[in-house]
Amino acid sequence: MICRGCGIWEENQRLRAEVERLRGEKAQLEVENGKLRRRLALYEKIQAPLPKKRRRAPARRSGLRFPGRPAGRRGSTRPRPTPEKIVAPEWDECERCGAPLPQPEVVEHHVVEEISNPAPKVVIDYLEFRGECPSCGAKLSRVHPDCPPSGRFGKNVYVQATLHKFLDRLPLEKGASALGRAGLGLSAPTQLELLWRTAKWLRPEYELILSRIRNSRVVHTDQTGIKVDGANFWIWTFVTDSEILFAIRRRKSQKVLEEILGREWSGVMVCDGARSHHTFARKSGAKIQRCWAHLLKEARNLAGKDEEAEALSRGLQGVFDRLRKALEKKPPPAERARLLRNARRVLRHWMSNSYKKAAVRKF
């Protein structure tokens, strides 16, 4: 127990008074700090620097080259079409005196290509006949083949909506506006519904193309980036002699090849030689044939870095040029087989050479 007269009690009272004084000073400083912060924020807002102007990159100088195609290149003038309609002006009387005019002395032709204004919509009532066969009693239903399976819009509306979205890359609002010029009052959600219906109706045809791709012995494939709602996706292309299939997926791995071609597909895959292609080939047993465009480009790039690859690059280019020139004449199968044997012999020659540089040997 501490008595009031002892030194400990007095020290305790002195410290209590000091704490109360410091608390008061702290509260006063917090008030002043708030005022100063508000004044400083106002000052910084007024004195905020203006955004810097983006510096434009200097324009590239083209030197002495004249703009346009290189000299000596064959022109591509638009051919003059055959007129389908002839429109003649009025030639009855003189504009000056009103006298009747004889036949014109000179007739010149101004052939132009014109398009018509958007055709107005046509409301069609497709009849559906139902009845019973008097011979066998079968219940029958017939409708015109141009009638869509469901909905209030014709097949051409579905076709145009699909082309606007995926070929012209128009947003849904602009696609609906384009159809509105033909007299169709569509909203963006309505056009989206048209796209969903089109995909549903064409799904069986898509599956048929997919089965033909899988049964093909040679498939050309490639992929490139594409944006879907701002996200990065990949659009894959699979091409045969008679079929073309597109698939948009998030990934670029061999999983897409396994999904489209099948895990046991063992044909020839013509591609750029990406890692996903090699991984798929090792697992499925498929063969890889390098795309000529990528192969020649890589050979030229390698020749630009290493002199040892210059002869190899010229040799590959020579094989390609000879094959392309010969195939332009559409030779018979026997001649094609001979061209294949000769090309393989030349390629084996270049592959059997002893190259010193590791990059050339790897290529």
What DSSP string describes 266-327? Answer: -SEEEE---HHHHHHHHHH--EEEE-HHHHHHHHHHHHHH-GGGHHHHHHHHHHHHHHHHHH
SS3 for 51? coil
Per-residue pLDDT, 8: 75
Residues of the chain with pLDDT under 70: 1-5, 42-67
Domain range summary for the chain, segments of one domain joined by +: 138-210, 217-290, 291-363
Six token digits for residue 150: 């469901």
Per-residue pLDDT, 31: 85
Residue-wise pLDDT tens digits, 28-69: 888 888 888 877 776 665 555 555 556 666 666 555 666 677
CATH level 2 (architecture), domain 217-290 = 2-Layer Sandwich (3.30)
Q: State how far the Cα of 220 lies from the Cα of 289, in Å rounded to an integer.
A: 9
Q: State how far the Cα of 113 lies from the Cα of 228, in Å rounded to an integer.
A: 37
Question: Are the C-beta atoms of residues 234 and 192 closer than 8 Å to each other?
Answer: no
- Report how far Cα 228 is from the mean position of its chain's Cα atoms: 10
Identity (one letter) of the amino acid at 186? L
* Helices and strands, counts by H and E, the chain: 10, 7
SS3 for 218? strand
Roughly what angle, to the nearest 10 degrees, separates helices 172-180 and 155-166?
140
Q: State how far the Cα of 119 lies from the Cα of 102, in Å rounded to an integer.
A: 39
CA atoms within a 13 Å half-sphere pointing along the CA-CB vector of 95: 2
Per-residue pLDDT, 47: 54
Per-residue pLDDT, 306: 80
Per-residue pLDDT, 28: 87
Per-residue pLDDT, 62: 54
Residue-wise pLDDT tens digits, 263-303: 999 999 998 888 899 999 999 999 988 888 888 888 888 88
Question: Are the C-beta atoms of residues 93 and 101 closer than 8 Å to each other?
Answer: yes
Per-residue pLDDT, 194: 93
CA atoms within a 13 Å half-sphere pointing along the CA-CB vector of 341: 6
Per-residue pLDDT, 173: 92
Per-residue pLDDT, 190: 92
| Burial state string for 84-114 with b = 16 or more CB within 10 A and e = fewer than 16 | eeeeeeeeeeeeeeeeeeeeeeeeeeeeeee
SS3 for 155? helix
Residue 313's CB is within 10 A of a number of other CB atoms, namely 21
Per-residue pLDDT, 2: 59
Angle at 282 between CA 279 and CA 284, to 5 degrees: 105
Six token digits for residue 109: 């032709």
Per-residue pLDDT, 12: 78
Per-residue pLDDT, 66: 62
